[in-house]
């Protein structure tokens, strides 16, 4: 127990330091992009958020599989917590994306494969959270959520394929910008990716702790009711 809490402290401290470094790099060190101006800095938050979202949903998938296999409550808690964090970061992606898009493409939204897939992803995991919430801690219903967590993830690549074809058959309005990043920007992006990944684990652990506390409370209440 002592061991894990010190590990958590290390994680928290390194997230804090890494975040300060990222903020310095993004707002002070890295040069302002010539064409888009300061708005391009959204990039350093947008891309890592997208990465964290995908990581989180992969964790939901893997933990759901493990939960169905082992029936250990821990895996269900990991899956549920990771989905919550994932939905938050997907929301960030969906908010920052249009702001950036408006500045660089001149439009808030385009049915680009990545954008559309992210939006559908958001709906899928919102649905997952709704299922899991209506499970109300019943073991059988938590299994249902796990099943959905698995098939939701399987559906994602098919969604991406479908939307990509849909967009290539239609005229392509916006070419993907394949401009190689200068080293300073790449470095900043990499540091930001690290920061967001650390942040993901911090939030995941917090969210898991809350869920565990809630379950403990629920058990205490039902025990107290029984004694009464």
Instruction: Determine the straight-line distance between the first and last CA of the chain, rounded to whole angstroms.
Output: 33
CA dist 128 and 187 (Å) reads 35
Minimum gap (Å) between residue 21 Cβ and other proteins: 37
For other proteins, the binding residue among 56, 93, 94, 124 (CB under 8 A) is 124
Q: Among residues 151 and 210, whose Cβ is nearest to other proteins?
A: 151
Stretch that binds other proteins, among 15-23, 144-152, 179-187, 193-201 (CB under 8 A): 144-152
Cα–chain center distance at 6? 25
Which residues lie closer than 8 Å to 58 by C-beta, 6 or more apart? 153
Residue 66 binds other proteins (CB under 8 A): no
Residue 103 binds other proteins (CB under 8 A): no
Minimum gap (Å) between residue 115 Cβ and other proteins: 13
CA dist 129 and 217 (Å) reads 21
Residue 144 binds other proteins (CB under 8 A): yes
Residue 135 binds other proteins (CB under 8 A): yes
Tell me how far CA of residue 31 lies from CA of 27, 184, 190, 207, in angstroms. 9, 8, 16, 36
Q: Record the tokens describing residue 185, joined without a space.
A: 């920007």
Residue 26 binds other proteins (CB under 8 A): no
Residue 148 binds other proteins (CB under 8 A): yes
| Residue spans of alpha helices (H) in 38-112 | 43-70, 73-104
Residues 128/153, Cβ–Cβ less than 8 Å? no
Kindly list the residues in this chain that would bind other proteins in the complex (CB under 8 A). Answer: 68, 120, 123-124, 127-128, 130-131, 134-135, 139-141, 143-144, 146-148, 150-152, 154-155, 158-159, 161-163, 165-166, 169
């Amino acid at each position: 127990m002592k061991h894990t809490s010190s590990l958590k402290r290390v994680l928290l401290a390194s997230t804090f330091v890494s975040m300060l470094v990222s903020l310095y790099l993004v707002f002070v060190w890295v040069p302002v992009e010539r064409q888009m101006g300061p708005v391009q800095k959204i990039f350093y938050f947008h891309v890592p958020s997208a990465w964290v979202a995908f990581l989180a949903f992969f964790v939901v998938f893997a933990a759901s599989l493990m939960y169905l296999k082992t029936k250990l409550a821990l895996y269900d808690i990991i899956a549920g917590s990771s989905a919550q964090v994932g939905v938050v970061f997907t929301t960030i992606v969906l908010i920052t994306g249009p702001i950036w898009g408006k500045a660089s493409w001149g439009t808030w939204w385009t049915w680009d494969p990545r954008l559309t897939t992210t939006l559908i992803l958001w709906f899928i995991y919102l649905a997952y959270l709704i299922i899991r919430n209506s499970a109300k801690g019943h073991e059988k219903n938590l299994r249902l959520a796990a099943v959905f967590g698995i098939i939701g993830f399987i559906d994602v690549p098919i969604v991406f394929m479908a939307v990509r074809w849909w967009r290539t058959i239609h005229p392509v309005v916006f070419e993907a910008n394949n401009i190689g990043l200068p080293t300073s920007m790449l470095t900043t992006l990499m540091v930001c990716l690290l920061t967001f990944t650390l942040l993901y684990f911090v939030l995941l652990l917090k969210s898991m702790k809350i869920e565990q506390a809630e379950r403990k409370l629920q058990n205490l209440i039902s025990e107290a009711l029984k004694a009464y």
